[in-house]
Structure 1
Amino acid sequence: MSVVHQLSSGWLLDHLAFINNIDYQLCQHEPTSGNTVHISSPRCGSSNATSTSSIELSAKSMTSEPATKPGINERKRNEALLQKYTFRTELFHVTKPYVTMADCMEFQQGNKIEAQQDGSIKLEKQKHIKGKDSISAVRKKGKRVIPFNQGELDAMEYHTKIRGLILDGTTQLVQEGLKSGFLYSVSEKLDNGNKAITMGLDNCGLAELCDMAKQLSLVNENELDTVQLIEADISVPEQDVFSRITQNSSNFTKMIILMGEKYLLPPKSSFLLSDLSCMQPLLNYGKKYDVIVIDPPWPNKSVKRSKRYNYLSSWQIKQIPVPELAAPNCLVVTWVTNRQKHLQFVKDELYPYWSVETLTEWHWVKITRCGEFVFPLDSPHKKPYEGLVLGRIQGKTVLPLRNPEMKVLPIPDHKLIVSVPCTLHSHKPPLTEVLKDYIMPDAECLELFARNLQPGWTSWGNEVLKFQHIDYFITPEIRN
């Protein structure tokens, strides 16, 4: 379970536990015994195989040999074939805030900010120089008036409105986390700060592979299966993952090799690696989804400067075929940044364009392992929370409701999802367990612009396998 505590204000999540509860186990080697006929083992073979049937079938296959049961050493060798993978713990090692209140105070002391009645601020920047006698001399104060733009004024108004909800709800959940031992107090810190993690995986090139796919020869869709099933750990051609859904339909984890890189596929997961121009295989898949989670690549100045990823314009985001993918009464959840422009676009333009009725907003609050906000709550630069806009598909449809006799709870207002964030950029917390009370038990779920896979979900994006790369995992034990 990723939910550590649930209160009326929301949930305290353990993102790392959610990943590791997927139970990534792979078959690493063939049995070495010449007297044993290989039967697919759990986590590496047929979904119909179990650990019990595997042993029984192995014994039956030896009936023509002397009537002896497999020895203890042989059984241990077979069991040791199951290699367990866990996500790197250090990627959730956030023990102190990224920016502290002291940092904000230092900024404010060096820059005297005075609000004006006309919506502008007077900035008096203090400058220092060193004289020949090494004594600091104060220069004349430079004064300039900087007006707030409308977006900044809207952001301040919005923050004022939800500040109390964020503070009170997070405080309650953090207190529960401290009591249970999931979080620990500042005095119990094991080190002096966050560990710097350098994975060196930014050049996996999944987005570049999508661009490359456009240069490949066109495939006749009539001659291509809609889905390619992964039945064993294999190397897959690039064309296959671009042009059709890749599906691990078994109950066990699989590994694929793409462009020489290894990726782990959770059980019961499906994905399409493509960009917005190549979504037809997802439409051809034929599924209608009861839940669609969207994490659009929103444009902002930081992204434009760093060129971390390609962003989409508002017009391009509206072209995502959500109405064609959605089942009746589909729950649509869209991640938004703290820019009010994006929030208003989703509520006033995007959702009406898709025939989605806005229901409410939730908030993801990022904390350290000690329960502190990763940014000061009132930081003028970045806030320690992000938003989610929840809505439902409206309008007439020829498709019937899935399980119409079953009722789900109404979506509550302004719930908090509190968690220690992953240090990997844009690795969002899982929503599977927090949404379960508001969707059908057999709901079909889709994530758009995904960077990782989940059991029971279909995932799409041009970096959809990014966080499934085997280097994000370690092998702490061999099961035996």
Structure 2
Amino acid sequence: MTKVPDAAAEFREALSSRKFGTVLADPPWRFTNRTGKMAPEHRRLSRYGTMDLPEIMELPVQSVLAATAHLYLWVPNALLPEGLQVMRAWGFDYKSNIVWHKIRKDGGSDGRGVGFYFRNVTELVLFGVRGRNARTEAPGRRQVNLLATRKREHSRKPDEFYDIVESCSRGPYLELFARGTRPGWTGWGNQAEDYEIGWDTYSHHSQRNQAQLPLAGE
């Protein structure tokens, strides 16, 4: 497992002068079992850089938030309690969630996921708010809390989710642990600028159909 060095310091250096109305985060969670060892079903993922819970919680996210802000936090089913801890540490109150249902091309559940108790075909996005008058925008009140799309490569989340965030929450928009860039967003993370999809399995990705763009505001 690879520890992310000085993540909090890097965060401050990159973002301390900015204020964001919406944060989307997909932390590199470290899966461990109750003995403190990497859970067997996730040992094959150990080649990916991860952060432990205190490291994620210590990111100074509150320092870059507008007075009223929204958080969309991706969290694996097994780490729901940890996700709620991160949300509180970052200054948000939990309000709801959105479920990503991973489907095959034929629309059936994609059962290639892992899990100790059940085979996971879903992931959760925890939604939290901070400040006054923090309700979602009008489209959010019509948006169902279920998104059914095909899986991407390891850990990558559906491109369609950005459209939901942009219609339901106000900017400026910040993506933490971003993979690649997106117009209108500021990205932070070690793959924010150099990530590129290089194979055809997931050729329906938006990033295969547009040029890489600079971070918003730069």
TM over 0.5: yes
Q: Which of the numbers 52, 64, 83 marks the counterpart of 1:346? A: 83
Q: 1:419 to 1:470 in 2, by over 3 A?
A: closer
**Residue 462 (str. 1) matches residue 201 (str. 2):** no
SS in structure 1 at match of 2:23: strand
Q: 1:393 to 1:307 in 2, by over 3 A?
A: same
1:409 Cα deviation after fit: 2.8
| C-alpha contact (below 8 Å) 1:329/1:394 kept by paired residues | yes
C-alpha distance after superposition, 1:107-138 (max 9, x if no partner): xxxxxxxxxxxxxxxxxxxxxxxxxxxxxxxx
| C-alpha contact (below 8 Å) 1:421/1:429 kept by paired residues | yes
2:125 aligns with 388
| C-alpha contact (below 8 Å) 1:297/1:311 kept by paired residues | yes
1:283 aligns with 15
The number of residues matched between the two structures is 190
Alignment of 1:142-291 (within 5 A): 275-284=7-16, 286-291=17-22
| C-alpha contact (below 8 Å) 2:98/2:127 kept by paired residues | yes
**Residue 308 (str. 1) matches residue 39 (str. 2):** no
2:35 aligns with none
Q: 1:414 to 1:361 in 2, by over 3 A?
A: farther
C-alpha distance after superposition, 1:230-284 (max 9, x if no partner): xxxxxxxxxxxxxxxxxxxxxxxxxxxxxxxxxxxxxxxxxxxx94442233234
Q: Give the Cα separation in 1 of the matches to 2:121 and 2:28.
A: 19
C-alpha distance after superposition, 1:416-458 (max 9, x if no partner): 0111122x21111132211233223xx2111111122111111
2:180 aligns with 452
Q: Give the Cα separation in 2 of the matches to 1:310 and 1:445.
A: 24
| Structure that is richer in helix per residue | 1
Q: Which of the numbers 324, 335, 357 marks the counterpart of 2:63? A: 324
Q: Which of the numbers 116, 132, 138 marks the counterpart of 1:409? A: 138
Q: Cα RMSD over matched residues?
A: 3.4
| C-alpha contact (below 8 Å) 2:7/2:59 kept by paired residues | no
Q: Give the Cα separation in 2 of the matches to 1:470 and 1:374.
A: 22
Q: Which has the larger radius of gyration?
A: 1
Q: Structure 1: any 5+ residue segments left out of the alignment? A: 1-206, 212-273, 396-400, 476-480
| C-alpha contact (below 8 Å) 2:29/2:50 kept by paired residues | yes
| C-alpha contact (below 8 Å) 2:99/2:147 kept by paired residues | yes
2:76 aligns with 337
| C-alpha contact (below 8 Å) 2:197/2:208 kept by paired residues | no
C-alpha distance after superposition, 1:119-174 (max 9, x if no partner): xxxxxxxxxxxxxxxxxxxxxxxxxxxxxxxxxxxxxxxxxxxxxxxxxxxxxxxx
1:307 Cα deviation after fit: 1.9
SS in structure 1 at match of 2:195: helix
SS in structure 2 at match of 1:279: helix
| C-alpha contact (below 8 Å) 2:23/2:174 kept by paired residues | yes
Q: 1:305 to 1:470 in 2, by over 3 A?
A: closer
Q: Structure 2: any 5+ residue segments left out of the alignment? A: 32-38, 201-206, 210-218
2:95 aligns with 359
